[in-house]
């Protein structure tokens, strides 16, 4: 079979790279962030289309990439999840933001391209939104078989407790994600993933690996992490180290902020600020620092040789790379999606 995919909202290529690892040819990725181009093209080996999805018409893609009528066409995408995240529930007018409407643009592109397979990954909260229900209804009305479920990443060998909504749709027949590959008790741990990396200190960059770089600490944050226990809370600190919010009743609902991870467990969800000790349980299990960029990338299951930085550029922007890595679909999850699609096609395409 001649199987090929287009990746919408491709970023630095987590979804594309995983599909490629599974054995699917990825022809192009679409994104409006130019800073993602180098990593995407270098690692995926596909064209990076710098464009807003709302400015792309299906005819453009069909003429350039999907002109072969014998191709099995896959449209894949992970729209920016911030509008649908539970963290955004209190944001006023979030439904009026441009990012909220991106699911509708993905649906429009699906309509114009008529791909054989559609897959989308996002936060679990999207399932509750009318915009998602409209998309599922659209797919079914257009003769797609649709399945979707909330996937707990450790069940598929991914070393972080991320839960993601994964949708699969096919014109060929029933399609589902493959069964879990990892049983509880055998989940991949933080230690298995980053335990062998060189020891570094807060504010230090490894001489051997420029991506193994950790943010510096203020004196008070250094005092805080020294009193933090793996898997513990800010309640472990001396009262003099507490923030004003910790002393309020509302502050008690954020126990993992300023926390350390545990060696023998998967990591928490890697966010776009995983390098920041104060934004979650992103303290190293035993070193007095937050996660390095390399550690975040490995926990997102990017391979050690994935090239994130154009050598011709000077310096590394921790904030930018944090966004790139944290926003990515974990490569291993994308590979599982790819394997699910290929298994489905082997069973149904010849019928």
Catalytic residue flag (residue 81): yes
Structural contact between residues 156 and 182, judged by C-beta atoms closer than 8 angstroms = yes
Q: Are 30 and 9 in contact (CB under 8 A)?
A: yes
Distance, in Å, from the CA atom of 273 to the CA atom of 259, rounded to the nearest integer, reads: 14
Total Cβ atoms within 10 A of residue 246: 19
Place of tokens 């008070």: 220
Reduced to 3 states, what is the DSSP secondary structure of residue 72?
strand
Catalytic site residue from 10, 78, 81, 215: 81
* Residue 284 CA: distances (Å) to CA of 56, 116, 320: 43, 44, 21
Residues β-bridged to residue 225: none
Torsion, Cα 136 111 65 23, to 10 degrees, reads 10
Residues annotated as catalytic are: 81
């Amino acid at each position: 079979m001649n199987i090929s995919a287009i990746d919408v909202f491709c970023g630095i290529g987590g979804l594309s790279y995983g599909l490629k690892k599974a054995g699917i040819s990825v022809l192009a990725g679409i994104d409006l962030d130019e800073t993602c181009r180098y990593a995407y093209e270098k690692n995926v080996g596909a064209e990076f289309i710098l464009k807003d999805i709302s400015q792309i018409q299906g005819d453009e893609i069909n003429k350039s990439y999907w002109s072969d009528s014998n191709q099995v066409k896959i449209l894949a995408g992970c729209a920016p999840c911030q509008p649908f995240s539970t963290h955004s529930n209190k944001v006023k007018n979030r439904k009026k933001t441009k990012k909220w409407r991106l699911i509708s643009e993905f649906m429009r592109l699906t309509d114009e391209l008529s791909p054989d397979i559609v897959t989308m990954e996002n936060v679990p909260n999207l399932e509750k939104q009318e915009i998602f229900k409209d998309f599922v209804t659209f797919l079914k009305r257009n003769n797609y078989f649709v399945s979707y479920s909330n996937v707990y990443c450790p069940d598929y060998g991914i070393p972080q407790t991320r839960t993601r909504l994964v949708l699969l749709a096919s014109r060929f027949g029933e399609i589902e994600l493959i069964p879990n590959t990892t049983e509880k008790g055998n989940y991949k741990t933080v230690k298995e993933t980053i335990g062998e990396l060189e020891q570094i200190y807060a504010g230090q960059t490894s001489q051997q690996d420029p991506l193994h770089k950790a943010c510096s600490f203020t004196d008070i944050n250094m005092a805080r992490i020294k009193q933090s226990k793996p898997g513990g809370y800010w309640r472990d600190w001396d009262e003099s180290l507490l923030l004003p919010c910790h002393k309020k009743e509302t502050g008690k609902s954020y126990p993992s902020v300023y926390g350390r991870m545990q060696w023998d467990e998967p990591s928490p969800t890697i966010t776009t600020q995983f390098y920041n000790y104060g934004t979650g349980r992103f303290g190293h299990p035993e070193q007095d620092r937050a996660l390095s960029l390399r550690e975040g990338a490995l926990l997102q299951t990017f391979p050690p040789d994935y090239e994130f930085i154009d050598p011709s550029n000077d310096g590394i922007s921790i904030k930018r790379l944090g966004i790139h890595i944290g926003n990515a679909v974990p490569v291993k999850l994308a590979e599982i999606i790819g394997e699910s699609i290929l298994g489905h096609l082997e069973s149904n395409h010849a019928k």
